[in-house]
Amino acid sequence: MASHTLTADIVLRGGLVIDGDGGPARAADVALAGDAIVAVGPGLTAPGAREIDVSGLVVAPGFIDVHTHDDLICITQPDMVAKISQGVTTVITGNCGISAPLLRFSETVDEPFNLLGAREDFAYDTFAAYRRAIEAAAPRVNVAALVGHSTLRVLCLDDIERPASPAEREKMDALLRDALAEGALGLSSGVFYAPAWAADVEELQALAKTVAEAGGVYTAHIRDEREGIIEALKEAFAVAEPSQAPLILSHHKCAGVRNWGRAAETLGLIDQTRQRQPVHLDCYPYTAGSTIIRPDLADGEVEILVNWSEPHPEMAGRTLASIAEAWGLTQAQAAERLMPGGASYFQMAEDDMRAILSHPCCMVGSDGLPHDKRPHPRLWGAFPRVLGHYARDQKLLSLEAAVRKMTSLAADTFGLKDRGRVAPGLKADLTVFDPDTIIDESTYENPTRPASGVALVFVNGALAWRDGAPEGERTGRFLRR
Ligand SMILES: [Zn+2]
């Protein structure tokens, strides 16, 4: 077969293409020109192009981290090594109701917004100013942003201990519309967290409607992931159903010892609900979650590892149980004394997590906390862990199915139309990895060790990572809806 001659800048030669759609890997070359993929197929000919031998390696679409708290770190530390080292080429910020733009703090940063950054990092008075700051910083990965419902509440309500009044709803709606016009992907909510506890379904339905009309999405950190999980899921469904806003259940899990073994029940309910409204979910491949230290989560049953504590930094890396014992306190009392701080909660059952991760509608989101001094290892390892540990070693799912979750499924669900596949005409976000060696290296003891096996990462057609180090200019963009 005579292959016709191409105009291209780079040809990735001799790799195994996993295109992101879930179909079987196939031997093919991939040609890039400018910021786009121009051809995929065997024996491509492109005179003058830079040839890169990728034989023995997989060429996949760049991974999309659908659940991040990278709102500010993408500007303050734009190399984004925790993400690009895993093959992530796009991060979605503003999750769990917590988004940074428009927020200012005069003294300390209120919880849970302190998960995002330090006081001086909150410096954007409009969504447009935030977008421009990302464009000016040019992070090493692309950034797309959600608007946080808790952020809107803090900005628009006189008293966050009650539902929004009609006038306050209108104010929130105006800010949301402004951000959507500037390219925000949609709305996130986190009624699990104090700034949004008092919100009612009507308040959220109105915002979800605005998002649906604009073609955006709605992501939800539900009210209760423990014993009250079914009611909490139904609340999220009720918010999105009238407007048919595409709902994404964030970091789905059955948390708490008494709740273990219920993934079949929650996934069954999700499947049933999908018959009347669009629902997707994301998860991270670990049995521990991580958030701020909260006494109400210290139930004495799940193990809790303290990651940081402002009043007691010396306790980082110790379990709450051992701290409580040393202090002669209950775990809840010790948690109170350690606040503000962050912790990892070993609150999920492995079998539940595996069932959720394998669900065909489940994407991968790291939920990494980039501002933690001693972060949960998911920040540096979530994606290679799915590929190396769960797909290759444990055979929980095929490598192709795992890549689909991280790429086309994420791009389609969040409306990133020109990303998520290895196909001509799409943007050249590509991750080249060794299927035999890819693995996470970050652990609870050593949480910031970069993953192994990610050979090359391209962002918008430019080489951005090569054999363990950032390479070349940073070429990430702000991605509009
Ligand atoms: Zn969350």
For the CA atoms of the chain, what is the radius of gyration?
22
Q: How many angstroms separate the alpha carbon of residue 404 from the centre of ligand 1?
A: 23
What confidence category does residue 373 fall into, taking pLDDT thresholds of 50, 70 and 90?
confident
Q: Output the CA 247–ligand 1 centroid distance in Å.
A: 14
Residue 293 C-alpha to ligand 1 middle, in angstroms? Answer: 14
Distance 3 CA to ligand 1 centre (A): 49
User: What's the mean pLDDT in 5-27?
Assistant: 97
Categorize the per-residue pLDDT at 3 as very low, low, confident or very high, splitting at 50, 70 and 90: low
Report CA(452)–ligand 1 centroid distance (Å).
Answer: 27
CA of 422 from ligand 1 middle (Å) equals 30
373 neighbors 308 (Cβ within 8 angstroms): yes
Average pLDDT over residues 410-426: 98
pLDDT at residue number 2: 45
Confidence of residue 291 (pLDDT cuts 50, 70, 90): very high
- 284 CB burial (10 A radius; 0-12, 13-18, 19+): buried
Which of 3.40.50.1820, 3.60.21.70, 1.10.10.10, 3.20.20.140 would CATH assign to domain 62-287+348-416? 3.20.20.140
Percent of the chain with pLDDT over 90: 98
Q: How far is the CA of 111 from the centre of ligand 1 (A)?
A: 13
Ligand 1 center to residue 312 CA distance, Å? 25
Ligand 1 centre from 249 Cα, in Å?
A: 10
Q: Where are the domains of the chain?
A: 62-287+348-416, 292-345
95 Cα–ligand 1 center, Å? 7
Taking CA atoms, 301 is separated from 255, 257, 304, 347, in Å, by 11, 7, 9, 9
Question: For the chain, what is the mean pLDDT?
Answer: 97
Tell me: the pLDDT tens digits for 437-469? Answer: 999 999 999 999 999 999 999 999 999 999 899
110 CA → ligand 1 middle, Å? 16
How high is the pLDDT of residue 29?
98
> Does 217 score more than 60 pLDDT?
yes
What's the first-to-final CA gap in the chain, in angstroms? Answer: 41
Please answer whether residues 474 and 75 qualify as being in contact, where contact means their C-beta atoms are separated by less than 8 angstroms: no
CA–centroid distance, residue 193 to ligand 1 (Å): 9
pLDDT, average across residues 316-342 = 96
C-alpha 27 to ligand 1 mean position (Å): 39
d(CA 325, CA 303): 14
Whether the per-residue pLDDT at 81 is higher than 80: the answer is yes
The Å distance, Cα 259 to ligand 1 centre, comes to 18
CA distances from 478 to 74, 91, 128, 135, 396 (A): 11, 10, 11, 6, 34
pLDDT band (50, 70, 90) for residue 1:
very low
Report, as an integer, the average pLDDT of 236-265. 97
3-state secondary structure the chain: CCCCECCCCEEEEEEEECCCCCCCCEEEEEEEECCEEEEEECCCECCCCEEEECCCCEEEECEEECCCCCCCHHHHCCCCHHHHCCCEEEEEECCCCCCCCCCCCCCCCCCCHHHCCCHHHCCCCCHHHHHHHHHHHCCCCEEEEEEEHHHHHHHHCCCCCCCCCHHHHHHHHHHHHHHHHCCCCEEEEECCCHHHCCCCHHHHHHHHHHHHHCCCEEEEECCCCCCCHHHHHHHHHHHHCCCCCCEEECCCCCCCHHHCCCHHHHHHHHHHHCCCCCEEEEECCCCCEEEECCHHHCCCCCEEEEEEECCCHHHCCCEHHHHHHHHCCCHHHHHHHHCCEEEEEECCCHHHHHHHHHCCCEEECCCCCCCCCCCCCHHHHHHHHHHHHHHHHCCCCCHHHHHHHHCHHHHHHHCCCCCCCCCCCCECCEEEECCCCCECCCCCCCCCCCCECEEEEEECCEEEEECCEECCCCCCCECCC
pLDDT in tens, 115-164: 999 999 999 999 999 999 999 999 999 999 999 999 999 999 999 999 99
- What spacing in Å lies between the alpha carbon of 69 and ligand 1's midpoint? 9
The fraction of the chain above a pLDDT of 70, given in percent, is 99
Q: How far is the CA of 190 from the centre of ligand 1 (A)?
A: 7
Section 51-62 average pLDDT: 98
pLDDT at 343: 95
CA of 285 to the centre of ligand 1 (A): 15
What is the Å distance from ligand 1's center to 245 Cα?
19
Find the 468 Cα to ligand 1 centroid distance in Å. 30
Q: Please state, as a whole number, how many other Cβ atoms lie within 10 Å of the Cβ of residue 47.
A: 8
Closest-CA residue to 452 (of 85, 89, 90, 91): 85
Residue 429: its pLDDT value, please?
Answer: 98
In the reported structure, the alpha carbon of residue 345 is separated from the centroid of ligand 1 by a whole-number distance in angstroms of 13
Q: For residue 136, how far is its CA from the centre of ligand 1 (angstroms)?
A: 28
* Vertex 410: Cα angle to 37 and 32 (nearest 5): 10
Can you name the CATH fold of 292-345? Dna Ligase; domain 1 (3.30.1490)
Q: Give this prediction's pTM.
A: 0.97
Over residues 302-313, the pLDDT tens digits come to 999 999 999 999
